[in-house]
C-alpha cells in the first residue's frame, strides 16, 4: 500500500506542479500578488497534492469496487420498482454529498442553500434513474442527449438570464470527486451483467445524463422560485501578516471541511452498509479493504477541499482582477487558456475517468490521449469564458453552437466515444474549476465592471462543454486509424495472395 501511495503522490505532484509554477511566474511578473495571498496559495498546493494522493488511493479501493458491486447486483433483484427506487435514492444522496455543489450554493446566496441543493439533487436522482434504464434496456445515448438538450435550450428561453448561467454551472459541479467514481463504476457494473457486444459502449454515459438533470431542475426553479435575483457572494482576499496567521487560516478551516466531508460520506457509507447486509455481496477481506479505502477518501477529500478553498480561491480571484486591471486586459485570453490547459490535470475525478477508460478499452484509448484531449478542451473553454468576460457576449452564442456540434458529432464517432465524451464534460468541471477558474473569472469581471452573474458565471458550463468536442474529435481520429489499419491488413493479404499465385504459376 505504501508503494502505491508514493505513486499517487508522484502523480498528484506532476499534476499540480504546472499550475503552481504558472501562478508563481505571473505573481513575480505581470500580476504582483501580496506575499500572504501567495503563501496561502503555496500552502494550498501542498495540501492539494496530499489530498489528491489519498483521495485517488481511497477511490481505487473503496468507491470503485463498491459502485461496481452495487451496479452488478441491482438488476439481479428482478424487481424493477425496487431498482428504480434505490437508484433514485443513490442519486440524491451522492449529490447532496458533493462538495462542489456546496461551493456553488454558497456563492448564490439569494437562493437558500437547501433549496438549490435539494433541487439539484432531485434532478440528478431522476436522471440517474433514466441513465440506469438506458443501460439496462439498450436505449441510444445519442437520441436521449439530443432530446434532453433540445428541452434544456427551449426551457432556458423562459428563464431570467441570471438563472441560465447558474443552471448550466450546476450541471457541471454535481459530477465531482464523490459522484464520478461511484456513478462510473456503478455504470460499468450495470453493463457487465448484460454480456452483449454493446455492453462496453453503454458502460459510459451515466455521468453525461446525470449532468442534464440539475440544469433542467434549476431552470424550472428559475421559473417558479420567487426569491429575487440569484445574486452572488464576492470572493474576499484575506490578509496574512505572519506564518502563524497563515497556519491559522488552514487550521480554522479544516474542521469545517472535515464536517462537510463527514456529511458527504456518511450517507454513502450507511447505504453501502445496508446494501451489504441485504445482499452479502462482499466477503470479510474485501470489506476491510473498502473500509480502509473510505478512510483514505475521507482524509484526502478533507485536505483537498481545505487546500483549494483557503489557498486557491483567493489567489484565483486576485489574479483575475490584476490581469484585468493591467494595460492590456486582453492578456486574460492567452493566460486563461494556459491556466485551463494545466488546471484540469489537477482535477481528482479526471484521473479516475482516464484510468477507467484505459481499463475498459484494454489500452485502446490511453490515459495520455484522454488527458491531452481534456486539456485542449478546457483550454478552449477558458479562452471562450474570457471572451465573455471581456465583451459581455451572451452564453447562448457559445453553448448553442457548441452543443449542436457535439450532438451532430455523435453520429460520426464510435458509440463508446459519445459516452466517454459527455462523461468527460462533467468530470472536467470539478472543484478546481469552482474554486479557481470561477473566482478567476469573477475577479476579472468585477475589475472590468461587467455583470458577474451573466458574464463570469457560466465558465463551469463551458468547461463541461468543450471536452464533448475534443474527445469526440479523438474518436474520429481513432476510427480513421482503425480503418487505415484494416486497409493495411487487407492490402498485405492481397499482396500475399498475389505472391502465392505467382509462385504457383511459376511452379
Mean pLDDT over the full length of the chain: 85
pLDDT in tens, 409-426: 999 998 889 999 998 988
User: What is the four-CA torsion angle of 241, 244, 249, 254, rounded to 10 degrees?
Assistant: 170
Q: How many CB atoms are closer than 10 A to CB 226?
A: 4
pLDDT digit string, tens, across residues 59-70: 888 888 888 888
Look at residue 228 in the predicted model and tell me its pLDDT.
54
pLDDT of residue 493: 56
- pTM higher than the cut 0.85: no
* Count of C-beta atoms within a 10 Å radius of residue 276: 17
How high is the pLDDT of residue 183?
82
Contact 100, 173 (CB under 8 A): yes
Q: 369 falls in which pLDDT band (50, 70, 90)?
A: very high
pLDDT at 52 over 60: yes
Q: Rounded to whole angstroms, how far apart are CA atoms 193 and 373?
A: 30
- Average confidence (pLDDT) over 467-484: 88
Q: How far apart are CA 390 and CA 26, in angstroms?
A: 20
Nearest alpha-carbon partner for 467 in 501, 431, 432, 418: 418
Q: Look at residues 149, 197, 151 and name the one whose alpha carbon lies nearest to residue 408.
A: 149
Amino acid at each position: 500500500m505504501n508503494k502505491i501511495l508514493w505513486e499517487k503522490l508522484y502523480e498528484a505532484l506532476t499534476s499540480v506542479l504546472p499550475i503552481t509554477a504558472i501562478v508563481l511566474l505571473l505573481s513575480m511578473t505581470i500580476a504582483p500578488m501580496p506575499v500572504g495571498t501567495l503563501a496561502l496559495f503555496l500552502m494550498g498546493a501542498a495540501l492539494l497534492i496530499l489530498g489528491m494522493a489519498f483521495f485517488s488511493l481511497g477511490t481505487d479501493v473503496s468507491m470503485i469496487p463498491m459502485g461496481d458491486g452495487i451496479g452488478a447486483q441491482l438488476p439481479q433483484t428482478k424487481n424493477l420498482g425496487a431498482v428504480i427506487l434505490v437508484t433514485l435514492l443513490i442519486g440524491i444522496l451522492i449529490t447532496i454529498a458533493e462538495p462542489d455543489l456546496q461551493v456553488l450554493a454558497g456563492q448564490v446566496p439569494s437562493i437558500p442553500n437547501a433549496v438549490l441543493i435539494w433541487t439539484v439533487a432531485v434532478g440528478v436522482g431522476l436522471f440517474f434513474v433514466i441513465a440506469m434504464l438506458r443501460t439496462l434496456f439498450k436505449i441510444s445515448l445519442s437520441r436521449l442527449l439530443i432530446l434532453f438538450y433540445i428541452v434544456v435550450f427551449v426551457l432556458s428561453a423562459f428563464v431570467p438570464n441570471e438563472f441560465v448561467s447558474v443552471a448550466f454551472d450546476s450541471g457541471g459541479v454535481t459530477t465531482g470527486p464523490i459522484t464520478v467514481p461511484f456513478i462510473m463504476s456503478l455504470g460499468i457494473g450495470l453493463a457487465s451483467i448484460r454480456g452483449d457486444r454493446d455492453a462496453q459502449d453503454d458502460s459510459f454515459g451515466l455521468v453525461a445524463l446525470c449532468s442534464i438533470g440539475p440544469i433542467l431542475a434549476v431552470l424550472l426553479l428559475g421559473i417558479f422560485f420567487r426569491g429575487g435575483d440569484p445574486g452572488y457572494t464576492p470572493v474576499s482576499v484575506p490578509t496574512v501578516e505572519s506564518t502563524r496567521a497563515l497556519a491559522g487560516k488552514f487550521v480554522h478551516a479544516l474542521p469545517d471541511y472535515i464536517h462537510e466531508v463527514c456529511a458527504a460520506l456518511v450517507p454513502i457509507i450507511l447505504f453501502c452498509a445496508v446494501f451489504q447486509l441485504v445482499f452479502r455481496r462482499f466477503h470479510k477481506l474485501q470489506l476491510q479493504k473498502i473500509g480502509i479505502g473510505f478512510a483514505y477518501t475521507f482524509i484526502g477529500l478533507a485536505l483537498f477541499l481545505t487546500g483549494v478553498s483557503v489557498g486557491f480561491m483567493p489567489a484565483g480571484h486576485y489574479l483575475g482582477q490584476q490581469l484585468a486591471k493591467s494595460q492590456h486586459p486582453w492578456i486574460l485570453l492567452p493566460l486563461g487558456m494556459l491556466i485551463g490547459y494545466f488546471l484540469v490535470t489537477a482535477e481528482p475525478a479526471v484521473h479516475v475517468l482516464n484510468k477507467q477508460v484505459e481499463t475498459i478499452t484494454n489500452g485502446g484509448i490511453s490515459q495520455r490521449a484522454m488527458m491531452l484531449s481534456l486539456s485542449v478542451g478546457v483550454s478552449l473553454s477558458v479562452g471562450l469564458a474570457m471572451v465573455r468576460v471581456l465583451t459581455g457576449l451572451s452564453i447562448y452564442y457559445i453553448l448553442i453552437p457548441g452543443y449542436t456540434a457535439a450532438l451532430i458529432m455523435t453520429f460520426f464517432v464510435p458509440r463508446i466515444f459519445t459516452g466517454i465524451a459527455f462523461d468527460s464534460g462533467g468530470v472536467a468541471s470539478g472543484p478546481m474549476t469552482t474554486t479557481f477558474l470561477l473566482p478567476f473569472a469573477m475577479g476579472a469581471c468585477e475589475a472590468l465592471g461587467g455583470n458577474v452573474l451573466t458574464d463570469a458565471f457560466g465558465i463551469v458550463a463551458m468547461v463541461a462543454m468543450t471536452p464533448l468536442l475534443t474527445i469526440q474529435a479523438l474518436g474520429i481520429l481513432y476510427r480513421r486509424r482503425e480503418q487505415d489499419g484494416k486497409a493495411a491488413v487487407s492490402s498485405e493479404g492481397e499482396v500475399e495472395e498475389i505472391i502465392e499465385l505467382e509462385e504457383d504459376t511459376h511452379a
